[in-house]
């Protein structure tokens, strides 16, 4: 049932000027009419009986009841936005904005100044959100392309290292052959010994030079990523974070001593502080692997303290009570979730992987230990259907 309500004079000035509206109100408020009652800057229908018994008014209300409801909500939202200092958090978006915008197009003459400003600000806000999303998508695409190029460079570096190793092996073979033939002649034993020593020394130097060249190339690549991350830290914080993470990963994954440039670690910390977020504190050593479950419920971290930790992202404070997954005898270098978020998989430098059932009463109890590798596990993954688990190792 329709009821009366008080309306400010400002709400009624969309169809005409304020003076024209006040003149019309005065006519309806005249002693011989008494259809409206005005009080200061507000006006309302004199009695709700008019709504039921005035045929013309009933016809107006029934003709566009949905539009009236939309207009009423728009009026209240615009007033709330104005009274709250016109903050962006009070603007329309999504479905409400679509309905209100359509009403503004079909009933432009019914909007007052405040309502029109509110609707325009909401449309601008939505457009800015779209532009921000597009910009972030472009940044992610650019970063992915750069990381792909970095991986290709790393592959070529490893290939060159193998070539150097082969050449070194050939040098050792040549040295052995030379030593054999020189050793056949007793009168030339001293010459053979000198030749063998020289060949071995040359081969060792060649291999060491090759290793140094590869190491320097990897460190240079990591330093280049650090420089790029610092350059875009203020203008593109998300891209800076990805580049800093890549700088750490390049050296950690590809160097035999797993050394990470201190500058890469510091740049990663700076990038993390620039994008906000909440710290998950608990590991006693460096965190070396991170994953998020597909349902967004869990975060999984693996560290050099030989433990993995499950963090409940649905909790009020995800960092308060992580679930520790113990059992590994070496640092954890790789973690993953199954697509249905039921299973977690950890890979460790103790040459084993462990499968954890997240739907168990205690997910940290009785993991399935996967053995077989003879060197540390550095990568783990699940198949899309969750039937297979894959592990990769330094062996």
Please check whether residues 17 and 98 belong to one and the same domain: yes
- Number of structural domains (the chain) is 3
Please check whether residues 258 and 301 belong to one and the same domain: no
CA separation for the pair 303, 325 (Å, rounded): 11
Cα 364 off chain centre by: 27
Residue 59, in any domain of the structure: yes
Considering 66, 95, 122, which residue would you say is the last residue of a domain?
Answer: 122
CA separation for the pair 293, 337 (Å, rounded): 6
Domain that holds residue 45: 6-122
pTM (predicted TM-score) = 0.41
CA separation for the pair 86, 76 (Å, rounded): 13
Sheet-wide strand order for 353-357: 332-337, 343-348, 353-357, 368-370
Residue 94, in any domain of the structure: yes
Please check whether residues 243 and 316 belong to one and the same domain: no
CA separation for the pair 131, 128 (Å, rounded): 5
- Residue 320 sits in a domain whose CATH number is 2.130.10.10
Residue 281, in any domain of the structure: no
Nearest alpha carbon to residue 302 among 314, 318, 284, 320 = 284
What torsion do the CA atoms of 61, 62, 63, 66 make, to the nearest 10 degrees?
Answer: 90
Encode the chain (395 residues) as per-residue pLDDT tens digits: 555 555 665 666 654 566 666 676 666 666 665 666 666 666 666 556 555 656 555 555 555 667 778 888 888 899 899 999 999 899 998 888 999 889 888 888 778 888 889 999 999 999 998 898 888 888 888 888 888 887 888 777 777 667 666 666 666 666 666 666 656 655 566 666 766 776 677 667 767 776 777 777 777 888 888 899 889 888 888 788 888 888 877 766 655 555 667 787 788 778 777 776 677 888 999 888 999 999 999 999 999 999 999 999 988 888 888 999 999 999 999 999 999 999 999 999 999 999 999 999 999 999 999 999 999 999 999 999 999 999 999 89
Helix, strand, or coil (residue 316)? coil
């Amino acid at each position: 049932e329709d009821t009366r309500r008080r309306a400010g004079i400002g709400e009624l000035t969309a169809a005409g000027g304020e003076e024209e509206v006040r003149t019309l109100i005065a006519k309806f408020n005249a002693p011989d009419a008494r259809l409206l009652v005005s009080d200061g800057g507000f006006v309302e229908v004199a009695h709700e009986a008019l709504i039921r018994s005035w045929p013309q008014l009933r016809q107006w209300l029934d003709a566009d009841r949905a539009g009236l409801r939309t207009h009423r909500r728009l009026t209240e939202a615009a007033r709330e936005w104005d009274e709250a200092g016109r903050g962006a958090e009070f603007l329309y978006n999504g479905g409400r904005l679509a309905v209100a915008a359509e009403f503004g197009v079909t009933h432009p003459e019914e909007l007052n100044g405040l309502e029109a400003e509110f609707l325009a600000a909401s449309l601008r806000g939505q457009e800015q959100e779209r532009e921000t999303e597009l910009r972030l998508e472009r940044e992610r695409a650019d970063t992915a392309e750069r990381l792909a190029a970095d991986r290709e460079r790393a592959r070529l570096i490893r290939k060159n290292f193998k070539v150097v190793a082969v050449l070194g092996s050939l040098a050792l073979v040549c040295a052995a052959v030379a030593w054999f033939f020189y050793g056949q002649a007793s009168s030339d034993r001293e010459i053979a010994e000198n030749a063998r020593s020289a060949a071995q020394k040359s081969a060792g130097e060649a291999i060491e030079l090759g290793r140094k060249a590869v190491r320097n190339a990897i460190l240079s690549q990591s330093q280049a990523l650090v420089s790029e991350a610092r350059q875009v830290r203020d203008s593109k914080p998300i891209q800076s974070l990805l580049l800093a993470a890549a700088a750490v990963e390049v050296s950690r994954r590809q160097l035999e001593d797993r050394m990470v440039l201190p500058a890469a670690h510091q740049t990663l910390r700076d990038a993390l502080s620039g994008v906000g977020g909440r710290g998950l504190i608990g590991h006693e050593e460096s965190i070396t692997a991170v994953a998020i479950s597909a349902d967004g419920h869990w975060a999984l971290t693996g560290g050099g303290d030989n433990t993995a930790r499950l963090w409940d992202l649905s909790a009020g404070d995800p960092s308060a009570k992580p679930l520790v997954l113990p059992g590994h005898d070496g640092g954890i270098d790789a973690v993953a979730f199954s697509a249905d978020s039921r299973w977690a998989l950890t890979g460790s430098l103790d040459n084993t992987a462990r499968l954890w059932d997240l739907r168990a009463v205690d997910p940290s109890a009785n993991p399935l230990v996967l053995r077989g590798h003879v060197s540390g596990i550095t990568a783990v993954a699940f198949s899309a259907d969750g039937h297979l688990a894959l592990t990769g190792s330094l062996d």
